[in-house]
Amino acid sequence: MFRPKLLFTSLAALALGACSPQDPQAVTSAAIAKSVILPTYTRWVDADRQLAVSALAYCEGKADLNTARADFLHSQKAWAELQPLLIGPLAEGNRAWQVQFWPDKKNLVGRQVEQLVSAQPQIDAAALAKSSVVVQGLSAYEYILFDSKPDVANDAQKARYCPLLIAIGERQKQLAEDILKGWNNTDGMLAQMSKFPNQRYADSHEAIADLLRVQVTALDSLKKKLGTPMGRQSKGVPQPFQADAWRSQSSLTGLEVSLAAAKTVWEGVDNKGLRGLLPSEHKPLADKIDAAYAASLKLFASNQRSLTEMLNDDAGRQQLNDIYDSLNVVHRLHEGELAKALGIQLGFNANDGD
């Protein structure tokens, strides 16, 4: 007798629940996770799968050096896209260091690669996973393919470095696949950014705050990646070998890609980004941030030279200063006015103490 009534009550409750307005921060967090972050992680996995195939093809003589380098640059671009999206597992346990080792002020990458190929000439991915993070990732891969010391255009040299190259490709593929699997697990990051409360976030505001912290840290990192080779930390003396991708001359490309990825978190898909959370009275701030992104990306797009080339003349250095200043505007707007408008206390910056 009671069951129909209970069923009716449950259905009524569900109907009311469906009609009640959703928490905009929960909607935004879920939308950014599903429509921005997850597709970017998926592209990263695809690029690293291709990298593993590419290393093998190159070392077996089925692909040339130019193809191997192009596949590396594709993986590096996919990694650069992830910089403003390093939220959750990839930001924990030194995992990001396993993909890219920077800053490298003492050429640890070159020195440790040389030590490793001498000590373990037939190294594989399993052994590499137990080695230093310095030699596990894209920085070591770049060293092998682009540095003059390995000189892999020489067949004997190529044979010496190929086991490590193949191991890095496989290691990066495994790492990327593990991270993506963790995102898609029942209680993984996608779920944690979509349904609240959970073991990571007490509510949706915590998730939005975490997203903004990651953005602010990433934008600060972009300034460091540009400012360090410019000499901003060395009394104005340029340090071109301190750029994060100086061997492949792709540092500025990486910065541009990272900034564009940060913009996707700000805008979202269908306006379900951080921008959409701002109340109408904050439209002047939203317009200001839109303009700051547009101005910085325009400066990147208008430049066709490498960072090293630009450091060699006054005009180039002025352009780099303009780019740096434009990044600083984007960074400060996120760190200051946007955080305040969203009611977020930023606190600790992952770059503090670098």
Q: How confident is the model at residue 312 (pLDDT cuts 50, 70, 90)?
A: very high
Does 15 fall in a domain?
no
Tokens of 210: 């975490």
Does 350 fall in a domain?
no
Q: What is the pLDDT of residues 126-182, one digit of tens each?
A: 999 999 999 999 999 999 999 999 999 999 999 999 999 999 999 999 999 999 999
d(CA 93, CA 54): 28
pLDDT of residue 352: 52
Q: For the residues 34-39, what does the mean pLDDT come to?
A: 98
Polymer length in residues for the chain: 354
Does 9 fall in a domain?
no
Q: Which of 223, 237, 233, 226 is nearest to 307 (CA)?
A: 226
- Left if phi > 0, otherwise alpha if psi is -120 to 50, otherwise beta: which for 201? beta
Q: How confident is the model at residue 17 (pLDDT cuts 50, 70, 90)?
A: very low
Domain housing 69 = 24-341
Does 303 fall in a domain?
yes
Tokens of 257: 């890609």
Does 13 fall in a domain?
no
Query: Would the pLDDT of 113 be above 90?
Result: yes
CATH of the domain at 31: 1.20.1420.20
DSSP for residue 21: P
Bond before 103 cis per omega within 30 degrees: yes
Give how many domains the chain has, as a whole number: 1
Does 321 fall in a domain?
yes
Element (H or E) spanning 340, and its range? helix 339-341
Residue 146, CA atoms < 13 Å, CB-side half-sphere: 18
Does 175 fall in a domain?
yes
Based on DSSP, count helices (H) and strands (E) in the chain, helices before strands. 16, 0
Tokens of 225: 């990646």
Q: What is the pLDDT of residues 260-292, one digit of tens each?
A: 999 999 999 999 999 999 999 999 999 999 999
d(CA 95, CA 8): 50
Query: Would the pLDDT of 116 be above 70?
Result: yes
pLDDT of residue 8: 40
Q: Which of 175, 213, 211 is nearest to 192 (CA)?
A: 211
Work out the percent of the chain whose per-residue pLDDT is above 70: 92
pLDDT of residue 348: 59
Cα distances (angstroms) measured from residue 296 to each of 43, 62, 196, 300: 24, 41, 36, 7
Cα-based torsion angle of the residue sequence 254, 258, 264, 267 in order, rounded to the nearest 10 degrees:
-120
Does 349 fall in a domain?
no
Q: Which amino acid is at 158?
A: K
Which three-class secondary structure string do you get for 111-146?
HHHHHHHHHCCCCCHHHHHCCCHHHCCHHHHHHHHH
Tokens of 197: 């409360």
d(CA 174, CA 166): 12
> What value does the mean pLDDT of the chain take?
93
d(CA 16, CA 3): 20
Q: What is the pLDDT of residues 190-233, one digit of tens each?
A: 999 999 999 999 999 999 999 999 999 999 999 999 999 999 98
Query: Would the pLDDT of 15 be above 50?
Result: no
Q: What is the pLDDT of residues 43-96, one digit of tens each?
A: 999 999 999 999 999 999 999 999 999 999 999 999 999 999 999 999 999 999
